[in-house]
């Protein structure tokens, strides 16, 4: 497929995702809001409601990225060296997975949402890797914005994949193999923290790590909110994870190793 076709599809995919996500709560789809479905499956990994405000940032970045990559392919003579060419089908496929996930979620098809979330995650990993390689050739504004957008998006979807898995286990009435839910929550928190640390240590990607910090803050806020059952183990793990990641980022900056993106 020609590069200009991918650029156009990326624009269309972004618009479709915004439309579906907007209608999800405006209609709402299937008569329920996104949050109402989440409330059916209470679990200790779920963050406070304000945490999901990060979607506003993500979609704003994606809109800017979509417009810039469209303009780039129209004005660049060598279209094979554009962001749209580097991404190929992967960003558009992520848009399709995102929109399909919303539909499955609102129709309470939890196993389907898990499968679609994994597809979304894998598509974003491919997009992230391709942009990373593209940055070795082109380090312009469009590439920079695209990398920031994909980093923030991938960071949040990585956390959302863990959250979706927690919802699936609740839906399946999983017993936890005898371990208390708080222990399992701490284990998955550690997994998320390790992902954030890896992004700093191996990719010098501070944006991804800071998204993980935001998610940890949301989890801590919910677990320590008035009226909630105290979960000191989870709250402590979240605070420790935030401190660890922030210090890791600051340490890199102090050593003169800023974000690679």
Q: How far apart are CA 112 and CA 44, in angstroms?
A: 22
214-247 residue pLDDT tens = 999 999 999 999 988 889 999 999 999 999 999 9
- 70 and 183 belong to one structural domain: no
66-77 residue pLDDT tens = 999 999 988 776
Structural domain containing residue 6: 1-174
Q: Residue holding tokens 């193999």?
A: 177
- 186 and 198 belong to one structural domain: yes
Last residue of a domain, one of 174, 206, 225: 174
**What pTM, to 2 d.p., does this model score?**
0.96
- 85 and 130 belong to one structural domain: yes
- 195 and 235 belong to one structural domain: yes
39-50 residue pLDDT tens = 999 999 999 999
Q: How many domains does the chain have?
A: 2
152-208 residue pLDDT tens = 999 999 999 999 999 999 999 999 998 999 999 999 999 999 999 999 999 999 999
- 113 and 54 belong to one structural domain: yes
pLDDT at 145 over 70: yes
pLDDT (average), residues 97-106:
99
What one-character-per-residue DSSP string does the chain give? --HHHHHHHHHHHHHHHHHHHHHHHHTTGGG--HHHHHHTS--TTPPPGGGGGHHHHHHHHHHHHHHHHHHHHHH-S-GGGSHHHHHTTHHHHHHHHHHHHHHHHHTT-HHHHHHHHHHHHHHHHHHHHHHHHHTTT--SHHHHHHHHHHHHHHHHHHHHHHHHHHHHHHHTT--GGG--HHHHHHHHHHHHHHHHHHHHHHH--HHHHHHHHHHHHHHHHHHTSTTSPP-HHHHHHHHHHHHHHHHHHHHHHHTT-----
- 195 and 212 belong to one structural domain: yes
**pLDDT band at 51; cut points 50, 70, 90:** very high
Share of the chain above pLDDT 70, in %: 99
Give the pLDDT score at 78. 62
Of 3-17, 63-77, 125-139, which range is least confident? 63-77
- Mark residue 191 as left, alpha or beta (left: phi above 0; alpha: psi -120 to 50; beta: remaining): alpha
Say which residue, 139 or 125, is predicted with more confidence.
Answer: 125
- 240 and 134 belong to one structural domain: no
pLDDT at 257 over 80: no
pLDDT (average), residues 17-33:
97
**pLDDT band at 89; cut points 50, 70, 90:** very high
Share of the chain above pLDDT 90, in %: 88
- 150 and 184 belong to one structural domain: no
- 6 and 117 belong to one structural domain: yes
**pLDDT band at 4; cut points 50, 70, 90:** confident
- 44 and 169 belong to one structural domain: yes
Last residue of a domain, one of 158, 174, 190: 174
pLDDT (average), residues 137-147:
93
pLDDT at 99 over 80: yes
- 119 and 185 belong to one structural domain: no
Last residue of a domain, one of 153, 174, 195: 174
- 127 and 54 belong to one structural domain: yes
């Amino acid at each position: 497929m020609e590069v200009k076709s991918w650029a156009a599809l990326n624009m269309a995919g972004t618009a479709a995702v915004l439309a579906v996500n907007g209608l999800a709560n405006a209609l709402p789809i299937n008569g329920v809001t996104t949050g109402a479905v989440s409330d059916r499956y209470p679990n200790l990994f779920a963050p406070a409601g304000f945490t999901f405000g990060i979607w506003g940032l993500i979609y704003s970045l994606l809109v800017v990225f979509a417009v810039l990559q469209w303009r780039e392919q129209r004005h660049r003579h060598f279209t094979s060296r554009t962001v749209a060419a580097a991404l190929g089908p992967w960003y558009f496929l992520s848009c399709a997975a995102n929109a399909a996930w919303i539909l499955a979620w609102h129709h309470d098809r939890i196993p389907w949402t898990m499968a679609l979330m994994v597809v979304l995650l894998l598509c974003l990993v491919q997009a992230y890797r391709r942009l990373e390689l593209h940055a070795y050739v082109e380090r312009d504004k469009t590439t920079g914005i695209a990398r920031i957008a994909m980093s923030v998006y991938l960071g949040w979807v990585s956390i959302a994949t863990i959250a979706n898995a927690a919802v699936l286990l609740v839906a399946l009435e999983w017993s936890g193999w005898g371990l208390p839910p708080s222990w399992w929550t701490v284990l998955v928190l550690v997994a998320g923290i390790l992902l954030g640390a890896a992004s700093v240590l191996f990719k010098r990607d501070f944006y991804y790590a800071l998204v993980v910090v935001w998610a940890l803050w949301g989890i801590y806020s919910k677990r320590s909110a008035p009226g909630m059952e105290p979960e000191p183990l989870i709250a402590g793990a979240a605070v420790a994870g935030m401190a660890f990641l922030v210090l890791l980022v600051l340490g890199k900056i102090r050593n003169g190793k800023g974000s690679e993106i």
